[in-house]
Chains A and B, each alone.
Chain A
């Protein structure tokens, strides 16, 4: 083994190592404080979170994790969030697979118009779509009786405004990275375009597809703007429902923190598991 004492010209100098240590420690603390506050407060009795803040709970209790389900209909909000996020993700991933395959494998008139529309709508402010969609839903309900505003279906449709362009854009990047030789080999074997998509491209792009799905799910799960307008008491999602803990006589900060932690776990877990694929996808999109 080469001795560690020998310094190669590639080794960073002491000053660099110290700066690295200091900066990363500070950043680590900056990241840690809110996470610690969230976790420790979720294990505190109510008197602790109503008095001056303490770093260590007076005693540990798991009752916030039990009480939070009855203070507000959290399970109901949970189900609403899950249905809306899952449906909008599923719809946008299926549509995105078809259109990304077309954009990635064919050259046709209107291709640029389509891709630039998709790219630009991704960057438009949500409020721009919210007002007209709300008005359209209300007036469709008025004239035809089909209720869209305040329903989960309506919310699913509005969530496509951001999950769909994102999914298409990311999947085009993934499909482009799959060698065309695979398609050609399948065509020689007598596979049609749809067969090639199903048997070659989709299996090869599976990590990408899963990543896009997880990412869509995350954004839908965390969406606040549309959810605050397009839902009522029975269709409310977590994003809006968590505010109910504060509208009671007491502010149940310990239960809010417990609920925040519980609703974060599915998306944070999924994200951290897939972060490697996600990085690849984001750069595939941004390099172009």
Chain B
């Protein structure tokens, strides 16, 4: 017993000094250990592919080299020059597609935001059936992207679709049933389908944002004699600003990168009037098997999106700061 306590004493004396050190090392290392799988997978699916993508954009990766990439010759800036040379077919097509995508995105974001936040604000005060209606409005957003687009594709059929049935036979707006999935109307078809799928998301986010506005604010305004429209303008809209800032950005990025809607609606090759960038890059890569050119276009797309995001955040944050002050 005595020997045990004697031999046990020296370690006990040093232990308080050593143990916290060990604990500190373990505590400092633990977060990294927890992050390890996430970091590995981030490297695997994001960082390495992105670096490879940048490398590919400087290579001449045509169909001959796809199975043997190390043999692909250097292309220097050729792929970028080709994409940005607006005098040749590739550059013109890309520029045109960029314009279409921008117009599509601005329209879809504006309409979805307007409809979504309008509906959310109109449904702020409770009325009978509100919960059910909210759930119902979310159905288009919950549907898988392709089933929504397939249904619209069916509705936009010229001879057996519901849209022409409504326009020609029920409203008598025109006697010649128009084509919707080819030609000029295809852009409208694309926008309508995208808005149908997107606005419920805006509705969902704004509805959630409205729940964070204190009821006291509205009561105080009502006592001061503010009508319902004034309350929306003076309280609701300013309070929603932080939510809207994120919402508009997310909607923009989603729609600018949208691939599913045009791909399902039109198939591999979309009509020129509705050829969004993602589909254009996809065609360059998988129809023409030119991966170098496709990668250069993807990198340009990414640079554009980063630029837009940075400028947007800079401007909206400045506006927020000046309006807060």
Contact = CB atoms under 8 A, between A and B. Distances in A.
B133 A24 contact: yes
A177 interface: no
A125 B222 contact: no
A53 B162 contact: yes
Contacts of B309: 123
Nearest to B256: A125
A224 B133 contact: no
A17 B48 CA distance: 55
A257 B154 contact: yes
A1 interface: no
A279 B144 contact: no
B56 A135 contact: yes
Given A10-B222, A224-B264, 6 more contacts: A37-B155, A99-B38, A114-B38, A193-B27, A228-B263, A283-B211
A23 interface: yes
B53 A129 contact: yes
A263 B123 CA distance: 31
Contacts of A271: 138, 141-142
Interface stretch (B7-15, B181-189, B241-249): B241-249
Contacts of A264: 143-144, 147
Contacts of B179: none
Nearest to A159: B45
B62 interface: no
Interface in B205-225: 205, 207-209, 211-212, 218-219, 222-223, 225
A20 B209 contact: no
B132 to A, nearest CB: 11
* Residue of A108, A131, A264, A287 ringed by the most chain B CB atoms within 10 A: A131
Nearest to B259: A225
B305 A124 contact: yes
A1 B41 CA distance: 61
A137 B100 CA distance: 32
B98 interface: no
Contact of A52 (B42, B154, B160, B247): B160
Contacts of A238: 144, 146
Complex A-B, nearest 10 residue pairs according to Cβ-Cβ distance, in ascending order: A222-B144, A99-B38, A271-B142, A102-B34, A260-B147, A132-B52, A102-B31, A132-B49, A106-B31, A125-B257
Given A13-B228, A34-B155, A51-B160, A138 B66 contact: yes
A158 B44 CA distance: 9
B145 A224 contact: yes
Interface string A251-288: 00100110011011001100110010011101100110
A279 B207 contact: yes
A128 B301 contact: yes
Given A264-B143, A264-B144, A34 B196 contact: yes
A218 B142 contact: yes
Contacts, number: 283
Contacts of B141: 271
Contact of B45 (A28, A158, A218): A158
Given A10-B219, A128-B298, A256-B150, A96 B139 contact: no
A126 B263 CA distance: 14
Contacts of B164: 53
- Name the residue among B31, B136, B142, B196 with the largest chain A CB count within 10 angstroms: B31
For chain A, which range describes its interface: under 10, 10 to 19, 20 to 34, or 35 or more residues? 35 or more
A135 B259 contact: no
Residue of A50, A91, A108 with most chain B CB atoms under a 10 A cut-off: A108
Contact of B145 (A110, A222, A278): A222
A135 B52 contact: yes
B144 A221 contact: yes
Interface in B282-303: 282, 285-286, 291, 294-295, 298-299, 301-302
Given A127-B259, A132-B49, A268-B143, A114 B35 contact: yes
Given A28-B133, A95-B41, A282-B208, A242 B150 contact: yes
Interface string A79-100: 0000000000001001110110
Nearest to A91: B41
A129 B56 CA distance: 12
Contact of B50 (A8, A34, A50, A132): A132
B152 interface: yes
B243 A121 contact: no
Given A132-B52, A135-B52, A267-B144, A52 B138 contact: no
Contact of A117 (B42, B250, B260, B291): B42
B122 interface: yes
Contacts of A129: 45-46, 49-50, 53
A24 B118 CA distance: 10
A121 B41 CA distance: 12
B263 A16 contact: no
14 contacts: A12-B228, A20-B122, A20-B123, A28-B137, A52-B169, A123-B253, A125-B302, A129-B45, A131-B53, A131-B298, A132-B48, A165-B46, A222-B146, A286-B205
Interface string A1-35: 00000001110110010011001100110110111
A225 B46 CA distance: 16
B67 interface: yes
A50 B264 CA distance: 20
Nearest to A261: B147
B275 interface: no
Interface string A47-71: 0011111110000000000000000
